[in-house]
Amino acid sequence: MVNKRTSKASGGRGFAHGTSRRQFLGAAGLGAGAALSGTLWSHRSLAEVLFPPGTGGFRGSVFAGGGSAAGSVHRAEVDLFDCEVEGKLPPDLDGAFYRVGPDAQYPKDPKYNGDIYFDGEGHASVFRISNGHVDYRSRYVRNERWRAQHQARRSLFGMYRNPLTDDPSVRGLSRGTANTQLFLHHQRLLVLKEDSPPAVLDPHTLETLDDYYTFGGRLKSLTHTAHPKIDPVSGELVAFGYQATGVASNDVYVYSADRNGAINWEAWIKVPYSGLLHDFAVTQKHVVFFMVPLVTHMDKIHALGLHYVWDGTLPSYVGVLRRGGDGSDVRWFQAPQLFCDHTMGSWCDGDKVYVDMDGQEGNRYPFFPSLQGPTPPAQGHIHRFTIDLRSRSPACEHAMLFPEAAGGLARQDDRYHTVPYRYGFLNGFGVDGSHWIMVDHMTGTTKNFALPGYSLSEMCFVPRRKGAPEGDGYLVGVGDSSKENGRSDMVLFDTQDPSSPVARVKMPFKVVTQIHGFWASADQLPPQTPDGDAILTSIPRVVLAGAGSPVSLAKEKFPASWKRPAYNMQSGEIVGPFACGAATHRV
């Protein structure tokens, strides 16, 4: 089924080979052969869908290996009303636990069976909790990539973030998978993957409302982080896009959007080399990047088909710039060569900036090759970086925290983004399997939350009630049972009692996988129509007047001076103008 409202607000991005959006969507009723013969796909797709043998998943060796039987793919959009609950859900717990992860829509062309798990199409799900009841729903993100493959009935995109491997029929379409994280801001459920702008889902129905969201035409980056931050003081969304002008570029676009979704500040910087910037940190005054030497080289993309390789000859850097500035003040400090990929918390005290991230020495992602030596086992600890902006030292201070707590996917109470915090959370590793760890920076102690026989996905913190103290509430996440062929439970722990869950929502099947999740309380959700659709307010148009000073201008149009750069498929070069009023860059 093609969602009739998909791309309603997308602004009419063009399709390849002169095929219009109206023609493309019309193909749902006419069939690909009737509507698009000779355009998007000129040969008939295979009649059968069969995933290759082997092992799939995060540590698998074959993309979606084993298919549904092995639990590598889900592919079913599900509605389950009034799920079975074991235990007692708190009667005042009212909100939505959103999740998203990769779920391969089709098997790849056999020559791309070595593609990585993270190239699966985004499949979002929600557990809606209210009055002790739980409803579950899952939907694919119906973006350009999903719809093209849906019509073709086969995979059309090759290796992860490598446009040179795509079927020629999809040249010009967004490669975005929308499979990494979700955030609710200005009434919209933003679904994020760092290689493309967000998609927008209806927070109530998970219907795709916009497949290529640019904040009313103001987002100037071709990419967007999966890990924005929400300033608890101003309500602003602060985010960035790296490789913002195209594959392997070293341009980074940084911006903030007010609580209504209007972009009110933007800046451009350059990074020391083109590589991974998966997460970042924000304080009340600063934006901080941690640069790791998982790098992008066009020669490797041409030769190996892989977007990243680990280059241990390069240093790691911490970059700091002022919020509200033009980016020209960015300073890069050399850091220990660590692979840090998720931020636990960050804040500033005068001219000192503090950032806590989880990470490890060496290449943390074994699915990308290392240019020097073998890839170490995946592990991780919490690392604190202290940057003194008054110092002339080219390096930052570093310390490992909680050496007994090994894990990853660092989180915090999301109400404390940008400000000093006390509690943080990790997904723990250990001989007894995965568990959740709660760290207390004030007392230096930890708590472990485990469910024997279950593999726990990343958790989210849920405040006990509006205005509850930091860390007072629940941890919510999904666990898969090793004894029941991966059958899933949604698990709820009270942070005051790690001994056993308060409640478990017992699903009759293994739910779709996730990378990250997000909790939204009921008072954050937009109102609904009688049919259950979200009622969304429009985004006010603003023009940027000075550094971070928005001025309302209802009829302001998207500046004609900005032109999207082109990507030369043969040479791998970024060509064409990119004029957007950026300040002079410096590294």
Nearest-10 Cα torsion for 370, 376, 380, 382: -70
Of the candidates 136, 63, 135, 137, the one whose C-alpha atom is nearest the C-alpha of residue 103 is 63
Q: What is the pLDDT of residues 498-510, one digit of tens each?
A: 999 999 999 999 9
**DSSP type of residue 586:** -
Per the listing, tokens 């990250």 go with 516
Work out the pLDDT band at 475, boundaries 50, 70, 90.
very high
In one letter, which amino acid is 454?
Answer: Y
Selection from 256-265, 530-539, 552-561, 578-587 with the highest mean pLDDT: 256-265
In what helix (H) or strand (E) does residue 144 lie, and over which residues does it extend? Answer: helix 144-152
Return the pLDDT at 55.
Answer: 83
Count of CA atoms in the C-beta half-sphere (13 A) of 391: 12
Burial of 285 (0-12, 13-18, 19+ CB in 10 A): middle
Alpha carbon distance 566, 430 (integer Å):
47
Of the candidates 46, 44, 50, 32, the one whose C-alpha atom is nearest the C-alpha of residue 151 is 32
Of the candidates 296, 227, 298, 260, the one whose C-alpha atom is nearest the C-alpha of residue 458 is 227
Of the candidates 109, 158, 151, 127, the one whose C-alpha atom is nearest the C-alpha of residue 25 is 151
Return the pLDDT at 314.
Answer: 94
* pLDDT for 238 beyond 90: yes
Return the pLDDT at 394.
Answer: 85
Please list the alpha-helical segments (H only) found in 331-393.
Answer: none
| CA-derived radius of gyration, the chain | 23
Q: CB–CB of 271/242 below 8 Å? A: yes
Return the pLDDT at 126.
Answer: 98
Of the candidates 490, 514, 513, 517, the one whose C-alpha atom is nearest the C-alpha of residue 502 is 490
Return the pLDDT at 429.
Answer: 78
Alpha carbon distance 492, 487 (integer Å):
16
Alpha carbon distance 382, 362 (integer Å):
15
Return the pLDDT at 46.
Answer: 54
Return the pLDDT at 9.
Answer: 40
pTM of the model: 0.85
Domain locations in the chain as residue ranges = 275-370+381-418
Of the candidates 211, 326, 261, 267, the one whose C-alpha atom is nearest the C-alpha of residue 541 is 261
Q: What is the mean pLDDT of residues 103-108?
A: 95
C-alpha distance from residue 376 to each of 4, 361, 532 (Å): 47, 8, 49
* pLDDT for 435 beyond 70: yes
- Give helix then strand counts, H and E, for the chain: 4, 37
**DSSP type of residue 275:** B
* pLDDT for 18 beyond 60: no
Return the pLDDT at 69.
Answer: 82
Work out the pLDDT band at 242, boundaries 50, 70, 90.
very high
Return the pLDDT at 57.
Answer: 78
Q: What is the pLDDT of residues 351-396, one digit of tens each?
A: 999 999 999 998 989 889 888 877 777 789 999 999 999 998 888 9
> And the tokens for 101?
């992860």
Return the pLDDT at 542.
Answer: 55
- Phi (first) and psi of residue 29, to 5 degrees: -90, -30
Work out the pLDDT band at 64, boundaries 50, 70, 90.
confident
Task: Find how far residue 91's CA is from the centre of its chain.
Answer: 31
* pLDDT for 564 beyond 70: no
Work out the pLDDT band at 463, boundaries 50, 70, 90.
very high
Return the pLDDT at 408.
Answer: 94
Q: What is the pLDDT of residues 169-186, one digit of tens each?
A: 999 999 999 999 999 999
Alpha carbon distance 587, 319 (integer Å):
9
Work out the pLDDT band at 340, boundaries 50, 70, 90.
very high
* pLDDT for 551 beyond 60: no
C-alpha distance from residue 254 to each of 125, 347, 410, 521 (Å): 29, 18, 22, 28
Q: CB–CB of 464/473 below 8 Å? A: yes
The mean of the pLDDT values for the chain is 84
Alpha carbon distance 294, 364 (integer Å):
9
Return the pLDDT at 15.
Answer: 30
Q: What is the pLDDT of residues 146-172, one digit of tens each?
A: 999 999 999 999 999 999 999 999 999
Burial 152-171 (b: 16+ CB within 10 A, else e): bebbbbbbbbbbebbbebbe
Q: What is the mean pLDDT of residues 236-240?
A: 98
Q: What is the mean pLDDT of residues 467-489?
A: 95
State how beta strands 188-193 and 122-130 pair. Answer: unpaired
Q: What is the pLDDT of residues 269-315, one digit of tens each?
A: 999 999 999 999 999 999 999 999 999 988 888 887 889 999 999 99
Q: What is the mean pLDDT of residues 99-124?
A: 94
Report the DSSP beta bridge partners of residue 504.
Answer: 86, 491
**DSSP type of residue 166:** S
> And the tokens for 560?
């004609």
* pLDDT for 38 beyond 80: no
**DSSP-based helix, strand, coil % in the chain, nearest 5:** 10, 35, 55
Return the pLDDT at 376.
Answer: 74
Burial of 378 (0-12, 13-18, 19+ CB in 10 A): middle
State how beta strands 84-87 and 503-506 pair. Answer: antiparallel
Please list the alpha-helical segments (H only) found in 250-403.
Answer: 298-304
C-alpha distance from residue 519 to each of 80, 233, 477, 497 (Å): 19, 19, 10, 20
> And the tokens for 459?
């958790």
Alpha carbon distance 265, 284 (integer Å):
14
Q: What is the mean pLDDT of residues 544-561?
A: 31
- DSSP string computed for 15-63: -GGG--HHHHHHHHHH-HHHHHTTTT--SPPPS---PPSS--STT-SST
Q: What is the mean pLDDT of residues 184-203?
A: 97
Q: What is the mean pLDDT of residues 328-351?
A: 95
